[in-house]
Structure 1
Amino acid sequence: MVQLDFITSLVQDMKGPFFHTFSLGAIELGNGFGINTNILETNIINLSVVITVVIYAVGGALQELLENRKKVIFDSFNKAEEQFAKAQEALAEAQQAFNEAESKVQEIKTQGTTKIQQLKVALVEQTAQDADRLETSKETTLRLEQDRIKNALRRNLVVKAMTGASTKLEKALQDQGKQARVLETVIPTLSTAISDS
């Protein structure tokens, strides 16, 4: 045993009320590390009694607490599984709705393309028909205008011819008798010519 008197002297050298009333005395140190096999000194019996009492008294409560915790964990797990299943259903429904919407969009695109093609064909046909009608109308208008001009020219020619013939007849025929005979033969001829034009 080694005595540590220097600690005592150190403590005595310190000033203060605590250090004057307290004295360490001699401290003995062991010879090294070892296992104490004395059951009474190590309190193994006391510890085993305390542990047994704690396990007996607290064990039921601890087991109940663990069971409650286990139940809470299982309930949480079941709720999570239910929510996951609901989320999977919602995802499947959303996917189906998306697929239906995509199909509808594709159908609308196809219908739109078909409708555009039909409208394009109808517009081309309508334009061709309008062009034909305009061409026919133009030809008819030209023909009518030509006929009108021809008729006007014929009338003018007839009027000029009659005026010229009438003037020539008046000069050539001084005699009224001659004039009457000539007029009787010329007027029916002129009337026929006018009605033919």
Structure 2
Amino acid sequence: MDIRLFLLASEAGEASGFGLNSNILETNAINILILLGVLIYAGKGFLGKALSQRLETIESAIKDADKRKQVAIEQLADQQEKLAQAQAECDRLRQQAEVDAKAAGAAILATVDADIERLRESADQEIATEQERVLIQLRQRVAEQALAGVRAYFGRGLEDSVQRELVDRSISLLGSK
């Protein structure tokens, strides 16, 4: 609406006794008081009901949050207890593993020591057997060479008495070894 029409209507109303008051300060204070009175009277029930429902909702949410908090605290305590049990079991297993490792190490060392001793004995036996075999071969070669030397010497011709003496001496030398 145009402002000119508004002013015309307000001037026409002043002339008849009923009209619009154009004093802004007077009309605003009265209008605000009237409006507040109407709102308080009409909105009292509605606003009270809405606020009580909101209060119940908030209280319900708080109770629910408290319940969840309590459940969470209980679950935390259970999980902490399980963690402590798991750590204790871990420590026990670690200690047992260390004991088992030491026992296994000792058993392995004992087995290795026994194997080393057995290998030494076997090596000593093999060395003794090889030495015996070499000695026998050396004796055989020495005897063969001696016999070959004697045959060569006797092949040139010796008397029977000298030949018998040399054979007896060779036999006695072989028998003493």
Counterparts in 2 of 1:108-119, with a 5 A limit?
108-119=93-104
Compute the displacement of 1:83 (Å): 1.4
- Residue 53 of structure 2 is matched in structure 1 by 68
Q: Per-residue displacement from partner, 1:92-127 (whole Å, max 9, x unpaired)?
A: 232133123212321331132122202210221122
Aligned residues: 136
- Residue 137 of structure 2 is matched in structure 1 by 152
Distance in 2 between residues matched to 1:167 and 1:77, nearest whole Å: 129
* 1:124 and 2:119 are equivalent in the alignment: no
- Residue 163 of structure 1 is matched in structure 2 by 148
- Residue 28 of structure 1 is matched in structure 2 by none
Distance in 1 between residues matched to 2:141 and 2:127, nearest whole Å: 21
CA RMSD of superposed structures (Å)? 3.4
2:119 maps to a residue whose letter is L
- Residue 5 of structure 2 is matched in structure 1 by none
Distance in 2 between residues matched to 1:161 and 1:90, nearest whole Å: 103
Distance in 1 between residues matched to 2:150 and 2:58, nearest whole Å: 133
* 1:172 and 2:172 are equivalent in the alignment: no
Distance in 2 between residues matched to 1:157 and 1:102, nearest whole Å: 80
Structure 2: state its 5+ residue gaps.
1-32
* 1:103 and 2:84 are equivalent in the alignment: no
Compute the displacement of 1:168 (Å): 4.9
- Residue 128 of structure 2 is matched in structure 1 by 143
**Partner residue of 1:94 out of 68, 79, 82:** 79
Compute the displacement of 1:155 (Å): 0.5
Distance in 2 between residues matched to 1:73 and 1:97, nearest whole Å: 35
Q: Per-residue displacement from partner, 1:129-167 (whole Å, max 9, x unpaired)?
A: 122022112211210121012101210232133234434
Q: Per-residue displacement from partner, 1:67-96 (whole Å, max 9, x unpaired)?
A: 212211211111111210221133123213
TM-score, normalised by the number of residues in structure 1: 0.55
Secondary structure of the 1:172 match is coil
* 1:84 and 2:46 are equivalent in the alignment: no
